[in-house]
Every structure is written in structure tokens, then in C-alpha cells.
Amino acid sequence: MPAETLVTMAGGIRDVALAFTVGGLLAIATLLPVGHRAVARAAAIARWASVAWAVAAVAYVFVSYAFIRNSPVDPERFVEEVWAFVTTIDVGVAYAQMALGAIVVSVLAALVRTPVAAAWSLLPVAWALGWQAQTGHAAGAADHHLAVSSLFLHISASALWLGVIGALLLMRGPLGGDAKPAVLRGSRIALWAAVGIIVSGAANAWLRLAHVSDLWSTTYGRLIVLKMLLMSLAVALAARHRRVALPRLSDEQVRERFWRVMMVDVGALVAVVLTAVVLSGTAPPVPIEAVEEPSPAYFLTGYELPPAPTFLNWLTLWRLEILSAFAVVTAGAVYVRWATRLRRRGDRWPWHRTAWFLLGIAVMVWITQGAPMVYGMVTFSGHMVEHMLLVMVAPLPLALGAPVTLALRALPARTDGSRGPREYLRGVIDSRVLRFLSNPIVAAVNFAGSLVVFYYSPLFEFALTNHVGHLWMLVHFTLAGYFFANALVGIDPGPNRPRYALRIVMIFATMAFHAFFGVSLMASEVLLAPRWFGLMGRDWGPDAITDQQYGGSLAWGIGELPVVLLAIGVIIAWRRADEKEARRKDRQAERDDDAELRAYNAMLARTAQRDRDR
Ligand code: HEM
């Protein structure tokens, strides 16, 4: 059998087995009540599918090497050659990491006994998917970051969708008449996954098709059309389920018909995945060619140098980073959905909190998709603007939006012993790690200190040269800023908030620290990340060290305004708390005829009497 066919077969088994592994683990983690008879079936699905995934992923390494080598192999040297392939060649390393991730999951899946353990076992799955996203056509594509991020989102969402409905189908026996809650939960996950697939599939297709006509004039395009048709069938069936079958799932007959239709649904998605594997082995209309003489900026960042920064360019330069865009926009949409849910059931949720949160989301969209991200890649000062907006500006309105409080109020509590989003959120909030990170002192140290640790350690270059590093930077500094702002002016659960006076002290302490950090950069003659900013080859703006010093003044400048706003926020909260306390005391005095004042006066009288006696 030709190596190419073996690659497609191993790839197909790998991707379908991966999906069922995810489905089995998710069923234990969140679809099923603890102790339900279907849990054993879900564990068996996760166990066997993960073994199939691991075997296919390992086989994929060997058959891919044979296919890439494309010449007869000396059997004695084959393993040695494959070892060189998986240790020195980027795509070989990626295949090996995928196989490693699959092997780790297959071991964990054999040990999983609780929903939380099943949830944790999904982490190495994300690791394997992260490496898979760096292979195929994404590896050499122009706009490499978008290609890799959109493929990661795409294959994660497809594993979720096929996994959830595939696992539900295989659990239909033990689920019996209890199917409805599990199916409802599964269909919500499938809905979000479908949104993720469409967004990332469109981005992927956009990168690989030169013109819309490629959809019908090229093999690659026709395969995408086939995928979209199969997907539309799956979506139509799912919509019909939700409308017709789901409300009446307790009826045995309806349930039988439901599972039969679900078989078609799963069949359609398995067909899509197999089509996708063929697609990833088919040459796309936009050829993947190495750039002949890349400019220094293109060589380092994968993008040409942006135009010199002007006021207009700061507003009009955009570049899609699909993962952060999907996360930020989804956060905004979910927030509005929850606030609407509260209002619909007659609970109050202050409009200004929604306004604050959406303002924070808008700032995050600009930071992660706009000029701060674009200039942050090529100049130190641009990076400092991106960083300061991320840690100082966006978190303040986000914290004032009180998203965690809203989530705990809007998310329904599970009553059947299963763990849903609310239970996991509660678990995270009450965890020792979160209690430590949200402690006001720790939040202040993290807020100010991680700035210095980040810029004066290899982390800075890691975040510049590696997309995962960049995404980690986005998450870390947004959370650092959120914990600090929440400790000072937020209402979200977590920290024991210090007295207002101490909060003011903390604010000015971090302010001084930022000023010190800014001044040290302004005075420094040592270039940070020299192999990046020193080699960028910019034909505009000051030289790298002057730009870094300018970055120092920005760190100082941009940092001060949000800190002043924080201080104003604390003072307003302080005054409000005092007024509230005064009102409470007044009400108390009215209720108990001013017992406190009378007790105080009595104490004074006793003291005076004692003095007189003495
Ligand atoms: C709107 C519909 C969709 C579009 C436009 C789309 C487009 C794409 C594109 C362009 C790729 C990259 C192929 C390459 O490497 O060149 C891809 C890969 C992939 N797609 Fe889709 N897709 C869609 C729906 C789906 C669905 C519904 C699933 C499964 C549930 C799916 C599963 C996959 C998988 C698993 C891969 C990676 C294949 C591999 O590298 O092994 N896609 N898709």
C-alpha cells in the first residue's frame, strides 16, 4: 500500500480516536452525574479510544517519515532515521509530541475515576492538539500565526463536537431514560464547538484559497465544499433534535428515533473528519512557498514591517489573532447572555457593570487584534504600550464588570451530582491557588513584580519568538491586572479586601514601583531582547536602544493614569462604605433607640465617675 494512503488512514484513525477520547473524558467531567451507570461506559470509551489514538499517532510518525523520505528504506537504519526525524526535523518533532501527548492521555484515561481527574486529563490533549496545529499546511503558510491558531481552534472544536455526540451515542444503552440532561449538556457544547469550527474553518480556507472560485475549480476547494455540506447536514439534524426530539426524550419511541438520527449525525461528522485528513494532504490553491529573501522583520515575525506609527495607524492597523479574538468576543457575548438571563428572571444586574465589562472587552479586542499587538512585535515601545494596556488599562473595567459574580448568579447549579460550569467555577474560586493569587498583597506583588521578572528574563524573548509565549503573556498579565483591580475596587469573590487606607498605600506603592521600573529603562543602555529588536531592520523611528528608553517613559506615563483612576475608585468606594455604615448605624439607632450612643455615654459617665472617686 502506498505510503500516502497509509498516512491518510493513520491520520483519519488518529483524528476520530482523538475525538472519541475527548468525548469520553468530557462525559465523565461534565455530562454525567457521579456514580451513574453510564460513567463506566464513558471511561471505557476514553480508555479504548485513547489507546487507538496513541497507536495511530505513533504509526503516523513512521508512515509520515516513510512518505516524506519517498525512497526505499534500509530496514536496519529505519528506526535510527526515524529517531533523527523526530528529534531534529520540526514536523517530525511535532508528530512525536502529538504521539507523546496521546500516550500520556491513554495512561491517564485508564486511571481516571472522578470528573475533576477527567477534566485535568484534557490538558495533555490540548498539548497534542497544539503540536498538530503546527503541522500540515499551517507549517509553511504565510501568516503563520493565524494558520496555526485557526487550525488549533478548528481541530479542538471538531474533536469536541464529534467527541461529545459520538460518546453520547455509544452511551445510549446505560443512559436509558436518563439521556435528556446529558444530551442537553452535550448539545450546548456542540453548539459552541460548531461556532468555533465555522470561524476557524473560514479563516483556514481564507488562507489557502486564492479566490472564491477555487471552491469549485480546485480539488482542495471541492473538498472544503464537501466538508461544508456534510457539516450543514450535521447542523440541520442537530437543530431538528433540539426542536423536536429533545423536549420529548423521556418518551421511549422518540428516544429510539433520536438515537437513530444521532447515528447519521455522528456518521456525517466522521465523514467530515476523514475528508479533512484528505484535505490536509491535498495541495492548496495558495502554494506554500518559502519567501526568497525575507526582510529581517519578516524573518523574525513572519510579517512584513508595519508602516511607521502615526495616530491614524494606531487606530487602523489590525491583524487577526483568532484564538484571543475568539476568547475575548465569546467572553463579551456570554457576559451579555448572562446579564440578560438575570433580567429575564427578574433579578437586578446594574447596567453600569455591563457597560464597564464591554468597555474592557473593547479595549482587549484592540490590544490583541490592533496596533498594540502589531507594533508590540517590532518595537520595544510598542510592546510596552501593549503590555501597559493589558495589565493596567483593560483589567480595571473588566473587574468593575464583576464577571465572576455574574457567572455565579447566572449559571444554574447542578442538582444531579454532575459538575457543570458553575461547580467548576466555584471549585476554582475556592482553590488554594486562586485564594493565594487573589490575596491583595500577592496580587500587588504579582502586578508590579512580574513586570520586572518578565522583561529582565528569557520570558520576554520567549513571548516575542513563540506564539504560545505571546498567548501566555496575554493571559498572565490580564489576570495579574484583574486580581489587583478586583482586590482594590472589585466585588468579585476571592480576596479578603484590606482596609481602604491600606488599599491607597498599595496603589501608591505600585505606582512608585512602576515609576522606578520606567526610570531604570529610560536610563539603561543595555538592549533587552537584542536578537529581536536589534535585528528588526526598521526603516522608521529611533534606533533600538532609544526606542527602549522611550518605552521606559511610556511604562511610567501610561501606568500612572489607570493607577490614579484606581485610587479615585478606592476613594469613591471608601466614601460609599462610610455612608453605608453611617446609614446602617442610623437605622440601628432608630431600632434600638440609640443603644450604642447610650452605652458610649454610660461608659464615659463611668469613667468620669471613676476619675472623680480617685
Ligand atoms: C465550515 C466548515 C469547514 C471549513 C470551511 C473547514 C476548513 C478546513 C480547512 C481549510 C482545513 C485545513 C486543511 C489543511 O491542512 O490544509 C481543515 C482542517 C480540518 N478540519 Fe475542517 N472545515 C470545516 C468544518 C469542519 C468540521 C465540521 C470538522 C469536524 C467536525 C472539521 C474537521 C477538521 C479537521 C480534523 C482538520 C485537520 C485535518 C488534519 O490536519 O488532520 N472541519 N478544515
Average pLDDT on 332-336 reads: 97
Axis-axis angle for helices 219-240, 179-208 (nearest 10): 160
Q: What is the distance in A from the centroid of ligand 1 to the CA of 157?
A: 10
Ramachandran category for residue 541: left, alpha or beta (phi over 0 → left; psi -120 to 50 → alpha): left
Q: What is the distance in A from the centroid of ligand 1 to the CA of 597?
A: 73
Residue 330 has pLDDT above 70, yes or no: yes
Task: Retrieve residue 550's grid coordinates.
Answer: 522611550
Question: What single string gives the DSSP state of each residue in 391-407?
Answer: IIITHHHHHHT-HHHHH
Non-local CB neighbours of 390 within 8 Å, separated by 6+ positions = 367, 473, 474, 477, 478, 481
pLDDT for res 244: 77
Average pLDDT on 575-583 reads: 87
pLDDT tens sequence across 427-467:
999 999 999 999 999 999 999 999 999 999 999 999 999 99
> In this structure, what are the phi and psi dihedrals at residue 551, rounded to the nearest 5 degrees?
-60, -35
Residue with CA at minimum distance from ligand 1 atom 18: 276
Non-local CB neighbours of 436 within 8 Å, separated by 6+ positions = 442
Non-local CB neighbours of 149 within 8 Å, separated by 6+ positions = 133, 321, 322, 323, 467
11 lines ligand 1 (CB under 6 A): yes
198 lines ligand 1 (CB under 6 A): yes
The residues facing 318 across adjacent strands are: 370
Q: How many Cβ atoms are within 10 Å of 462's Cβ, its own excluded? A: 16
Residue 76 has pLDDT above 90, yes or no: no
For residue 269, the ligand 1 atom closest to its alpha carbon is: 30
Residue with CA at minimum distance from ligand 1 atom 15: 280
Chain-centroid distance, C-alpha 292: 35
Q: What is the distance in A from the centroid of ligand 1 to the CA of 223?
A: 10
Check: CB of residue 509 under 8 Å from CB of residue 567: no
User: Taking Cα atoms as reference points, which of 298, 318, 326, 312 lies closest to residue 371?
Assistant: 318
pLDDT tens sequence across 285-324:
887 777 788 899 999 999 999 999 999 999 999 999 999 9
pLDDT for res 499: 86
For residue 284, the ligand 1 atom closest to its alpha carbon is: 16
Q: Probe ligand 1: pick from 225, 272, 275, 288, max atoms within 8 Å of CB? A: 272
Q: What is the distance in A from the centroid of ligand 1 to the CA of 365?
A: 26
Task: Retrieve residue 157's grid coordinates.
Answer: 472544536
Q: What is the distance in A from the centroid of ligand 1 to the CA of 148?
A: 13
Chain-centroid distance, C-alpha 357: 18
pLDDT for res 287: 78
Cα 287-293-294 angle, rounded to 5 deg:
80
Q: What is the distance in A from the centroid of ligand 1 to the CA of 155?
A: 7
Q: How many Cβ atoms are within 10 Å of 96's Cβ, its own excluded? A: 20
47-61, 227-241, 260-274, 437-451 — which one is most confidently predicted on average? Answer: 47-61
Residue 426 has pLDDT above 70, yes or no: yes
277 lines ligand 1 (CB under 6 A): yes
Q: What is the distance in A from the centroid of ligand 1 to the CA of 557?
A: 45
136 lines ligand 1 (CB under 6 A): yes
User: Taking Cα atoms as reference points, which of 441, 464, 260 lies closest to residue 376?
Assistant: 464
Burial (CB count within 10 angstroms: exposed 0-12, middle 13-18, buried 19+), residue 389: buried
Residue 141 has pLDDT above 70, yes or no: no
Give the 3-state secondary structure of 156-182. HHHHHHHHHHHHHHHCHHHHHHHHHHH
Q: What is the distance in A from the centroid of ligand 1 to the CA of 57?
A: 18
Non-local CB neighbours of 578 within 8 Å, separated by 6+ positions = none
Residue with CA at minimum distance from ligand 1 atom 20: 276
Task: Retrieve residue 90's grid coordinates.
Answer: 520540526
Check: CB of residue 384 under 8 Å from CB of residue 551: yes
Residue 20 has pLDDT above 80, yes or no: yes
First-residue to last-residue Cα distance in the chain: 110
21: pLDDT confidence band, cut at 50, 70 and 90? very high
- Judged by DSSP in three states, 370 sits in strand
Owner of C-alpha cell 450604642: 596
> What whole-number distance in Å separates Cα of residue 503 and Cα of residue 518?
22
Check: CB of residue 125 under 8 Å from CB of residue 105: yes
pLDDT for res 189: 94
User: Taking Cα atoms as reference points, which of 76, 67, 59, 55 lies closest to residue 5?
Assistant: 67
Residue % of the chain over a pLDDT of 90: 69
Query: Of 41-50, 359-368, 597-606, which range is least confident?
Result: 597-606
- Judged by DSSP in three states, 345 sits in coil
The residues facing 370 across adjacent strands are: 318
Chain-centroid distance, C-alpha 289: 31
Owner of C-alpha cell 508528530: 95
pLDDT for res 197: 95
Q: How many Cβ atoms are within 10 Å of 12's Cβ, its own excluded? A: 18
Chain-centroid distance, C-alpha 424: 16
Q: Probe ligand 1: pick from 154, 222, 265, max atoms within 8 Å of CB? A: 154
228 lines ligand 1 (CB under 6 A): yes
pLDDT for res 235: 86
pLDDT for res 475: 96
140: pLDDT confidence band, cut at 50, 70 and 90? low
238 lines ligand 1 (CB under 6 A): no
Residue 139 has pLDDT above 70, yes or no: no
Task: Retrieve residue 377's grid coordinates.
Answer: 512585535
For residue 282, the ligand 1 atom closest to its alpha carbon is: 16
β strands within 189-233, DSSP E: none
> What whole-number distance in Å separates Cα of residue 500 and Cα of residue 575?
10
208 lines ligand 1 (CB under 6 A): yes
pLDDT for res 578: 86
Residue with CA at minimum distance from ligand 1 atom 39: 277
Q: Name the CA dihedral angle for 117, 122, 127, 131, rounded to a multiple of 10 degrees.
A: 150
pLDDT tens sequence across 218-259:
999 999 999 999 898 888 888 877 777 777 777 777 788 888
Q: Probe ligand 1: pick from 16, 64, 158, 160, max atoms within 8 Å of CB? A: 158
pLDDT for res 585: 84
- Judged by DSSP in three states, 438 sits in coil
150 lines ligand 1 (CB under 6 A): no
Q: What is the distance in A from the centroid of ligand 1 to the CA of 66?
A: 25
Check: CB of residue 510 under 8 Å from CB of residue 480: no
Task: Retrieve residue 479's grid coordinates.
Answer: 489576570
Axis-axis angle for helices 440-455, 467-489 (nearest 10): 150
Average pLDDT on 511-535 reads: 92
Residue with CA at minimum distance from ligand 1 atom 4: 201
Residue with CA at minimum distance from ligand 1 atom 1: 198
Q: What is the distance in A from the centroid of ligand 1 to the CA of 93?
A: 22
pLDDT tens sequence across 528-571:
999 999 999 999 999 999 999 999 999 988 878 888 888 888 88
Q: What share of the chain is helix, strand, coil (3-state, %, to 5)?
A: 80, 0, 20
Owner of C-alpha cell 512584513: 304
201 lines ligand 1 (CB under 6 A): yes
Q: What is the distance in A from the centroid of ligand 1 to the CA of 112?
A: 30
User: Taking Cα atoms as reference points, which of 511, 517, 509, 512 lies closest to residue 553?
Assistant: 517
> In this structure, what are the phi and psi dihedrals at residue 318, rounded to the nearest 5 degrees?
-135, 145
Question: What single string gives the DSSP state of each residue in 455-505?
Answer: HTSHHHHHHHH-HHHHHHHHHHHHHHHHHHHHHHH--SSS--PPPHHHHHH
Average pLDDT on 49-62 reads: 96
Query: Of 105-119, 183-197, 494-508, which range is least confident?
Result: 494-508
Length of the chain: 614
14 lines ligand 1 (CB under 6 A): no
Q: Probe ligand 1: pick from 9, 192, 204, max atoms within 8 Å of CB? A: 204
94 lines ligand 1 (CB under 6 A): no
β strands within 186-338, DSSP E: none
> What whole-number distance in Å separates Cα of residue 593 and Cα of residue 96?
77
